[in-house]
């Protein structure tokens, strides 16, 4: 008969190894979120406690379709290497962290052809950490 503590210890070891494999914790990252909830949040007309504009108000998920901001089609693929590029100004250590950083600090790296200060600067305070992680989880499905 297997002891319950062995299962607990096995899970703890797996979580520890996963955390170590993720790299340094010195840069921002996003905890695992729920992509389905993130999809709903992304496509909501309003977000946050003060009902700021939802993501889909300005960003399409269709390639080449621009609304106010750039299309986010393929953003997961872009995010996979963006934090490694020369000249990157942020501190993210992975794609999820880079995406979250772009949401909460949108002027850090403004896409060429777009102006700074167009994207609301207050998503980091308007949205809970859980909501941000859910949106990031959804964006990571857009390959």
In a domain, residue 112? The reply is yes
In a domain, residue 76? The reply is yes
In a domain, residue 24? The reply is no
- Structural domain containing residue 87: 29-139
In a domain, residue 16? The reply is no
In a domain, residue 23? The reply is no
In a domain, residue 123? The reply is yes
In a domain, residue 122? The reply is yes
Q: Please give the tally of structural domains in the chain.
A: 1
Nearest to 55 by CA among 20, 142, 5: 142
Asked if 99 and 75 touch (Cβ cutoff 8 Å), the reply is: yes
pLDDT in tens, 42-53: 999 999 888 888
The reported pTM is 0.78
CATH no. for residue 98?
Answer: 1.10.760.10
pLDDT in tens, 24-80: 344 566 779 999 999 999 999 999 888 888 999 999 999 999 999 999 999 999 999
SS3 (DSSP) at 80: helix
In a domain, residue 90? The reply is yes
């Amino acid at each position: 008969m297997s002891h319950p503590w062995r299962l607990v210890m096995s899970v703890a070891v797996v979580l520890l190894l996963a955390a170590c494999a993720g790299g340094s914790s010195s840069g921002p990252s996003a905890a695992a979120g729920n992509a389905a909830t993130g999809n709903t949040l992304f496509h909501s007309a309003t977000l946050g406690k003060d009902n700021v504009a939802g993501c889909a108000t300005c960003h399409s998920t269709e390639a080449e379709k621009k609304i106010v901001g750039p299309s986010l089609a393929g953003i997961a693929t872009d995010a996979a290497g963006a934090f490694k590029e020369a000249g990157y100004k942020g501190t993210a250590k992975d794609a999820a962290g880079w995406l979250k950083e772009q949401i909460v600090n949108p002027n850090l790296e403004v896409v060429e052809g777009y102006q700074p200060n167009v994207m609301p600067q207050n998503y980091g305070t308007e949205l809970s950490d859980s909501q941000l992680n859910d949106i990031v989880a959804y964006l990571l499905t857009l390959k």
